[in-house]
Amino acid sequence: MDAKDAEIARLREELDKAQHEVDEVLESTKDIEIQLEQDIALAEQQLQKARRRNDDLVYDLTKYKERFAQAQNDHEKEVSAIQRELKITKKSYLEVRDRLREEESKHDDLERQERIVTTSYQDLENKYHAALEKNAVLESELEGAETSSVECQRLKDEVRDLEAELTVKG
Protein backbone atom coordinates (compact mmCIF):
# COMPACT_ATOMS: atom_id res chain seq x y z
CA MET A 1 0.00 0.00 0.00
CA ASP A 2 2.87 2.11 0.38
CA ALA A 3 3.30 2.21 -3.31
CA LYS A 4 -0.31 3.09 -3.73
CA ASP A 5 -0.14 5.67 -0.98
CA ALA A 6 2.98 7.06 -2.52
CA GLU A 7 1.25 7.09 -5.89
CA ILE A 8 -1.81 8.78 -4.37
CA ALA A 9 0.40 11.26 -2.56
CA ARG A 10 2.26 11.96 -5.75
CA LEU A 11 -0.99 12.34 -7.67
CA ARG A 12 -2.37 14.57 -4.92
CA GLU A 13 0.75 16.59 -5.05
CA GLU A 14 0.44 16.83 -8.83
CA LEU A 15 -3.25 17.63 -8.39
CA ASP A 16 -2.42 20.31 -5.83
CA LYS A 17 0.29 21.60 -8.10
CA ALA A 18 -2.11 21.57 -11.07
CA GLN A 19 -4.81 23.18 -8.89
CA HIS A 20 -2.30 25.80 -7.83
CA GLU A 21 -1.38 26.38 -11.49
CA VAL A 22 -5.09 26.56 -12.38
CA ASP A 23 -5.63 29.03 -9.53
CA GLU A 24 -2.69 31.08 -10.77
CA VAL A 25 -4.04 30.94 -14.34
CA LEU A 26 -7.52 31.87 -13.05
CA GLU A 27 -6.03 34.71 -11.01
CA SER A 28 -4.02 35.82 -14.03
CA THR A 29 -7.11 35.44 -16.22
CA LYS A 30 -9.13 37.54 -13.76
CA ASP A 31 -6.47 40.24 -13.91
CA ILE A 32 -6.46 40.04 -17.70
CA GLU A 33 -10.29 40.04 -17.74
CA ILE A 34 -10.36 43.09 -15.45
CA GLN A 35 -7.77 44.79 -17.65
CA LEU A 36 -9.74 43.84 -20.78
CA GLU A 37 -12.98 45.12 -19.22
CA GLN A 38 -11.22 48.37 -18.36
CA ASP A 39 -9.81 48.54 -21.90
CA ILE A 40 -13.28 47.81 -23.32
CA ALA A 41 -14.86 50.48 -21.09
CA LEU A 42 -12.18 52.96 -22.13
CA ALA A 43 -12.61 51.98 -25.78
CA GLU A 44 -16.40 52.40 -25.43
CA GLN A 45 -15.87 55.82 -23.87
CA GLN A 46 -13.49 56.76 -26.67
CA LEU A 47 -15.96 55.37 -29.19
CA GLN A 48 -18.78 57.43 -27.65
CA LYS A 49 -16.55 60.48 -27.61
CA ALA A 50 -15.55 59.83 -31.24
CA ARG A 51 -19.23 59.38 -32.19
CA ARG A 52 -20.15 62.65 -30.46
CA ARG A 53 -17.23 64.36 -32.21
CA ASN A 54 -18.32 62.78 -35.49
CA ASP A 55 -21.90 63.96 -34.90
CA ASP A 56 -20.58 67.45 -34.14
CA LEU A 57 -18.45 67.39 -37.27
CA VAL A 58 -21.37 66.13 -39.38
CA TYR A 59 -23.52 68.92 -37.91
CA ASP A 60 -20.78 71.49 -38.61
CA LEU A 61 -20.34 70.11 -42.12
CA THR A 62 -24.08 70.39 -42.74
CA LYS A 63 -24.05 73.97 -41.49
CA TYR A 64 -21.02 74.79 -43.66
CA LYS A 65 -22.71 73.21 -46.66
CA GLU A 66 -25.83 75.31 -45.99
CA ARG A 67 -23.73 78.46 -45.60
CA PHE A 68 -21.77 77.62 -48.74
CA ALA A 69 -24.97 77.00 -50.69
CA GLN A 70 -26.40 80.29 -49.40
CA ALA A 71 -23.17 82.14 -50.18
CA GLN A 72 -23.08 80.58 -53.63
CA ASN A 73 -26.73 81.54 -54.18
CA ASP A 74 -26.03 85.09 -53.00
CA HIS A 75 -22.95 85.22 -55.24
CA GLU A 76 -24.94 84.04 -58.25
CA LYS A 77 -27.61 86.67 -57.55
CA GLU A 78 -24.93 89.35 -57.19
CA VAL A 79 -23.21 88.25 -60.40
CA SER A 80 -26.57 88.27 -62.21
CA ALA A 81 -27.34 91.75 -60.88
CA ILE A 82 -23.89 92.99 -61.92
CA GLN A 83 -24.32 91.43 -65.37
CA ARG A 84 -27.72 93.13 -65.76
CA GLU A 85 -26.24 96.43 -64.60
CA LEU A 86 -23.30 95.97 -66.96
CA LYS A 87 -25.67 95.24 -69.85
CA ILE A 88 -27.72 98.36 -69.06
CA THR A 89 -24.56 100.45 -68.66
CA LYS A 90 -23.16 99.13 -71.95
CA LYS A 91 -26.44 99.91 -73.70
CA SER A 92 -26.43 103.41 -72.21
CA TYR A 93 -22.79 103.85 -73.20
CA LEU A 94 -23.53 102.82 -76.79
CA GLU A 95 -26.53 105.17 -76.92
CA VAL A 96 -24.47 108.06 -75.52
CA ARG A 97 -21.61 107.26 -77.90
CA ASP A 98 -24.01 107.25 -80.87
CA ARG A 99 -25.64 110.48 -79.67
CA LEU A 100 -22.19 112.03 -79.26
CA ARG A 101 -21.28 111.05 -82.81
CA GLU A 102 -24.54 112.55 -84.06
CA GLU A 103 -23.91 115.74 -82.09
CA GLU A 104 -20.32 115.91 -83.37
CA SER A 105 -21.63 115.45 -86.91
CA LYS A 106 -24.23 118.20 -86.33
CA HIS A 107 -21.49 120.38 -84.85
CA ASP A 108 -19.31 119.79 -87.91
CA ASP A 109 -22.28 120.64 -90.15
CA LEU A 110 -22.89 123.83 -88.17
CA GLU A 111 -19.23 124.80 -88.43
CA ARG A 112 -19.36 124.15 -92.19
CA GLN A 113 -22.50 126.27 -92.47
CA GLU A 114 -20.87 128.97 -90.36
CA ARG A 115 -17.86 129.01 -92.70
CA ILE A 116 -20.19 129.19 -95.70
CA VAL A 117 -22.20 132.02 -94.12
CA THR A 118 -19.01 133.82 -93.10
CA THR A 119 -17.61 133.47 -96.61
CA SER A 120 -20.90 134.63 -98.11
CA TYR A 121 -21.00 137.52 -95.68
CA GLN A 122 -17.42 138.49 -96.54
CA ASP A 123 -18.23 138.26 -100.24
CA LEU A 124 -21.30 140.42 -99.73
CA GLU A 125 -19.33 142.83 -97.60
CA ASN A 126 -16.63 143.00 -100.28
CA LYS A 127 -19.31 143.58 -102.89
CA TYR A 128 -20.86 146.20 -100.64
CA HIS A 129 -17.54 148.00 -100.20
CA ALA A 130 -16.83 147.71 -103.89
CA ALA A 131 -20.29 149.10 -104.58
CA LEU A 132 -19.66 151.92 -102.12
CA GLU A 133 -16.36 152.74 -103.80
CA LYS A 134 -18.00 152.51 -107.17
CA ASN A 135 -20.82 154.69 -105.90
CA ALA A 136 -18.33 157.24 -104.59
CA VAL A 137 -16.54 157.33 -107.94
CA LEU A 138 -19.83 157.63 -109.72
CA GLU A 139 -21.03 160.36 -107.43
CA SER A 140 -17.87 162.35 -108.09
CA GLU A 141 -18.38 161.89 -111.80
CA LEU A 142 -22.03 162.87 -111.35
CA GLU A 143 -20.99 166.32 -110.24
CA GLY A 144 -19.25 166.77 -113.54
CA ALA A 145 -21.93 165.43 -115.83
CA GLU A 146 -25.67 165.58 -115.95
CA THR A 147 -25.87 162.46 -118.04
CA SER A 148 -24.32 160.48 -115.24
CA SER A 149 -27.30 161.27 -113.05
CA VAL A 150 -29.34 158.36 -114.36
CA GLU A 151 -26.42 155.99 -113.91
CA CYS A 152 -25.90 157.22 -110.39
CA GLN A 153 -29.52 156.60 -109.52
CA ARG A 154 -29.20 153.06 -110.80
CA LEU A 155 -26.09 152.48 -108.65
CA LYS A 156 -27.87 153.85 -105.62
CA ASP A 157 -30.68 151.43 -106.29
CA GLU A 158 -28.10 148.65 -106.60
CA VAL A 159 -26.49 149.70 -103.31
CA ARG A 160 -29.87 149.79 -101.65
CA ASP A 161 -30.60 146.30 -102.96
CA LEU A 162 -27.24 145.03 -101.70
CA GLU A 163 -27.81 146.63 -98.31
CA ALA A 164 -31.23 145.02 -98.16
CA GLU A 165 -29.70 141.71 -99.16
CA LEU A 166 -26.98 142.17 -96.56
CA THR A 167 -29.54 143.05 -93.92
CA VAL A 168 -31.58 139.97 -94.82
CA LYS A 169 -28.51 137.72 -94.68
CA GLY A 170 -26.82 139.49 -91.78
Q: What is the CA radius of gyration of the chain?
A: 63
Mean pLDDT confidence for 52-61: 94
- pTM for the model: 0.42
DSSP-assigned states of every residue in 42-93: HHHHHHHHHHHHHHHHHHHHHHHHHHHHHHHHHHHHHHHHHHHHHHHHHHHH
Domain ranges of the chain: 2-169
Categorize the per-residue pLDDT at 147 as very low, low, confident or very high, splitting at 50, 70 and 90.
low
Evaluate if residue 105 carries a pLDDT over 70: yes
pLDDT of 71 higher than 70: yes
The average confidence (pLDDT) of the chain is 88
For residues 106-130, average pLDDT: 90
pLDDT bin (cut points 50, 70, 90) of residue 3 is confident
Amino acid at 100: L
